Structure 1
Amino acid sequence: MACGVPTPTGTTGSDDEPAARDRVDVHVHLVGGAVDELLAALDRNAIAAAVVIASPHLDPALGLAPGPDARMHGWREANDALLAATAAHRARLFPFVAVEPAEVDIPALEGWFQGGARGVKLYFGHQKLHARPLDDPAHASLFEWLEQRSVPVLVHVNTVRYRDELARVLRAHPRLELVCAHLCGSRTDLDRLAGLLREFPRLRVDTSHGAGLPGVDGFTAIEEDRDRLRALIEFQPERFLFGSDLVTARGPPATSTPRAPGTCSSPPTSACSSASGSSSGATPPGSARSRPASTTASRSPSPQSPACSEATPAPGSAPIEHRELQDMSRALCLMGHALKEMPDRACP
């Protein structure tokens, strides 16, 4: 790995087989239909393929943010849209449909898989989407179907709050092919992560952190305990999957309105930006970690960065260059720091 945007191999925007490049991002939220922008971002970061997830609650155009009922809305339509958007790119974009586990109809789920779905994303372990306990009896038929068919499942679980519920699910369904996002909600508590991996030998995790304070806390924890994380990964590397938590979105283009040199306005909506606001594994109140200079510096705009270009946003088509487009390479870079695979210098 290089500390910066990796040099891509293969043809930009092509449907090369993943074997051509060995990086696969297992955690990308495809919203806004920004397929071309996503493929270009994958190429810039030398990533062969990505798991792309139906994410209606993350699409600002839909206005379906979680509400008081803690249920996901619009997921059926989002699944149909995801399968349609990825139909021409299945060699690189692997669609994972999202479901409300107590509401999903198994014949409908089978229909999505016949239409090209490769896996399922469950958000029900997120604090804002936790309508029922994870091990609620209403979820049993879904878990049985997933287990019997060895369907890959990417799950978001805040294990600070819901570890015991997750444990009961895994004990009841020991052959579930589960990948637990954000180091299984334990990015700031490697003891909890080690315990989960020890107790549930089929469980896998992804390395995503997202942006904002949860991401900073996660990368800070890695910096502070890198030897421990490295040991966990080296012991069973097949259980750790790279994920960026990237979110695609169509945003405004730049205009030619100038600003004073060295100043930066609020960054525009990006074509691909990391998801933020995840509560899973966040540092509990009263135990905030200090942030290393290398981490916070990497998030600060400079007059040379795309976020500080001499332009201001205006309505229209989507830009494809923005500070947040670097998040995928930044995640790779900071993970490399944590695992001592590269010098400690500022990541992009």
Structure 2
Amino acid sequence: MASIKHSTDANGQSKYYVHWRDEKSGHGRRRIFKNIDEAAYFFWQKQNIELDCRTATWKGVDNSWSFQKLLMFFLGYQAGKLEKNIIRMSTYSKCRHDLLAVDGSILEKNILRISHRDITESVCPGCHRWIRSAFFLLEEKRLIAFNPVDRPVRRHRRPITIPSKETVRKLLDTAPRRERIACWLGICGLRLGEALAVTYEDISSEIIQIRRHIVNGVIREGLKRGVERQVRMPRELLALLDPKLFGSPQPLVSNSFTGAPLSINYGTQGILQKTLAEHGIRRFHHLRHFAVSRLAARGVDITHVSRLIGHVNIKTTIDVYGHLFCAPVDMDLD
């Protein structure tokens, strides 16, 4: 099994040693890193290779799987997701901070002997979700058969807020041009990160393609959540766009001076947030709720709606919006 160890040199600088057995020669190898992120990612890759080479005689998790090794394995897994733009840098940084904050004798304990009580007594509550995910990753790899970390108590879902049609109409009539474009994208069911990543390359006079997302003001390929999809171009939105920019990488909603993409702060702390607040709309996401309510009122099937708004699982659509599709039923006996 691969291993990862930490030490310091004569100058007090941290070093991370990753040991593994070469799959071709069978000899032990070692590599030294100065950065824990690179070390954890490399360790995760080598450990995965060993797991992929398991045979029928493999006996399961051995004594080398300490709790600390599990944390580094999961950190490397998260680093791999960051590399593929599956998670944000902020998510990875939070996970890294929480995992490295774990201290005490629990780090040396074998993962097969760790209970939920050990986690509760030794780890802060904010880190429980990462540790549960780490054990779940081992379940997926068939290294363990039981997750010792209890599932967190599910909070009741808050009722969604849907702006009225009159409020949205007034917003579209009075907002500045750039903010109107952003609001129209929200009314089409886009998340804020998706709306800010739509460029003139992604649109035509007929459709809008949702296939990118924004990360720290940079447009990334693929979506952070949900599925790639297409929605029809509203006539009012098309009239607001610049025909000369069609086919260019210019974002539909961009910096007024440089044309560069905007960050998520535009919708949470910037002009868009202020424009929405002036009309009594607290969040950009409420325009997405409005979009679903309009589709439900027009009789669109919930399965179709789930795809239009980019939910991976229709269960999410039913949990959040199912009540909008409950049409009244005639109870007469005739």
TM score, norm. by length of structure 2: 0.22
Relative contact order (C-alpha < 8 Å, sep 6+): which is higher? 1
| Higher-Rg member (1/2) | 2
TM score, norm. by length of structure 1: 0.21
